[in-house]
Amino acid sequence: MSKREEKRDLQTIPVGSLGMIPLQSCSEMGKKVDYYLVKWRTEREHEHQDSLAFAGYQRDSYILSSHTPRFGSGEGKGVILESVRGIDLYILVDVCNYSITYSLSGHQNHMSPDDHYQDLKRIIAAVGGKARRITVIMPFLYESRQHKRTSRESLDCALALQELVSMGVDNIITFDAHDPRVQNAIPLHGFETVQPSYQFIKNLLKNISDLQIDADHMMVISPDEGGMGRAIYIANVLGLDMGMFYKRRDYTKIVNGRNPIIAHEFLGTNVEGKDMIIIDDMISSGESVIEVAAALKERKANRIFVFSTFGLFTNGLSKFDEAYNKGYITKVLTTNLIYQTPDLLSREWYINCDMSKYIAYIIDTLNHDSSISDLLVPNERIQNVVTRYKAGEMHQK
């Protein structure tokens, strides 16, 4: 058993019997999370284990059988095949998993975020208010990029949060929300946005053996003003300097719904000869991050590592292959919180950060109604892993 698991001494009574419903979009992640929960609960010794409050505590699997079939017209329904009465229920959904298809009048239709969100609501509706508590784990927050009103337009993310809460959802857990202030839409309910900073740093250290982690040799870069908080946190925790780019836009025209970027302007100290960590919440097309990497290379930066919670890669991987071959980027690290193509996983420049154990910790702790603050603020764990790295204990297996 790991040291951290021993430290996570969950002696409180569970809120209810634990149950998990990973939707089809999240089935792989669900299996991994379930593996850790089964393993830990089999190993954990409780003096009250035989009491009624701990009934069903140790099981072969915490996944409840469910499915979301479709009719030929494309309409659907949610079906839960086991009892959920009194269950502390965790529903996992990946709204970005476009690999799943369904038949629509004979045509193959790829599921959009809207389809996944509807399936989530169908499963919540199927619960019918019988669960003890419902927590939705939605790593990529649905419609989170539509988080503020700049003209006469919809506020989709706020509406979705309010809709989930009105259906009986008690807590919503997401990762690296585009703008955490969307939680103002549901101020009386649980909303956590989790940063995967520790996983990024740990996986970088496991894969790169010759980093010098100090202000003379490394720097953290935010590719825009909106992501400053992430960069400041990692820079402070690792004791590095930081810089940022801001996007100079042409406000006289609109292309694809937004003002086009003219240039990325850099604010920061000298980057020459230093390794760079560029950190952002998502890689969409990837154009911005590659332009930022190229601009840093022009300023004679050394290796460039990109941290991004969500690797959407909406325009494919060819631009990243090209940037890697030109030496603009050394490694790109994204999480498995959203769907990853086999092509991406096979790329030489890609490092996958597995978040399943982290999600299992969160579920296990919340089921015991214990604090997850140490999981949300991982300063101590980051310092420990850096100390081990400097002592030569970290290496890729």
> What are the tens digits of pLDDT across the range 369-380?
988 888 888 888
Share of the chain above pLDDT 70, in %: 95
> Strand 218-222 and strand 275-283: pairing?
parallel
Confidence of residue 395 (pLDDT cuts 50, 70, 90): low
Examine the pLDDT at 190 and tell me if it is beyond 50. Answer: yes
Q: Closest Cα partner for 8 from 395, 318, 364?
A: 364
Using pLDDT thresholds of 50, 70 and 90, give the confidence band for residue 337.
very high
Q: What is the pLDDT of residue 4?
A: 47
CB atoms within 10 A of CB 36: 18
Q: What local confidence, expressed as pLDDT, does residue 5 receive?
A: 46
Decide if pLDDT at 194 tops 80. Answer: yes
What local confidence, expressed as pLDDT, does residue 189 receive?
93
pLDDT higher than 70, residue 243: yes
Give yes or no for residue 203 having a pLDDT over 50.
yes
Is the pLDDT at 261 greater than 70, yes or no? yes
Q: Read off the pTM.
A: 0.91
- What does the pLDDT read at residue 49? 65
| Pairing relationship of beta strands 66-67 and 17-22 according to DSSP bridges | unpaired
**CA distance readout (Å), 98 to 24, 59, 167, 341, 388:** 11, 32, 25, 10, 39
CA distance 205 to 199: 10
Residue-averaged pLDDT of the chain = 89
The H-assigned helical ranges of the chain are 3-7, 27-43, 113-127, 156-166, 197-207, 228-238, 287-298, 318-325, 342-345, 356-367, 373-376, 379-390
Only one residue has tokens 């009491």, namely 51
pLDDT of residue 24: 95
Strand partners of residue 108: 103
pLDDT score of 50: 67
Q: Tens of pLDDT along 44-101?
A: 766 566 666 677 788 899 999 999 999 988 899 999 999 999 999 999 999 999 999 9
Two tokens, residue 163: 């809709």
Q: Are 63 and 57 in contact (CB under 8 A)?
A: no
| pLDDT surpasses 80 at 2 | no
Residue 341, token pair as written in the block: 């193509």
Give the burial class of 150: count Cβ atoms within 10 A of its Cβ; 0-12 exposed, 13-18 middle, 19 or more buried.
Answer: exposed
Q: In the predicted model, what is the mean pLDDT of residues 190-197?
A: 92
* Angle value at C-alpha 134, between 133 and 137, nearest 5 degrees: 140
Task: Quote the Cα angle for 175-283-121, to 5°.
Answer: 45
Spatial neighbors of 321 by CB under 8 A, at least 6 apart, are: 347, 349
Neighbours of 302 (CB within 10 A): 16
Tokens describing residue 273 = 């000869």
d(CA 369, CA 352): 31
How confident is the model at residue 84, as a pLDDT?
94
pLDDT digits (tens, 9 = 90+) for 280-336: 999 998 888 999 999 999 999 999 999 999 999 999 899 999 999 999 999 999 999
Quick check: 130 pLDDT over 60? yes
Q: How far apart are CA 64 and CA 21, in angstroms?
A: 6
Structure tokens at 352: 């996958």
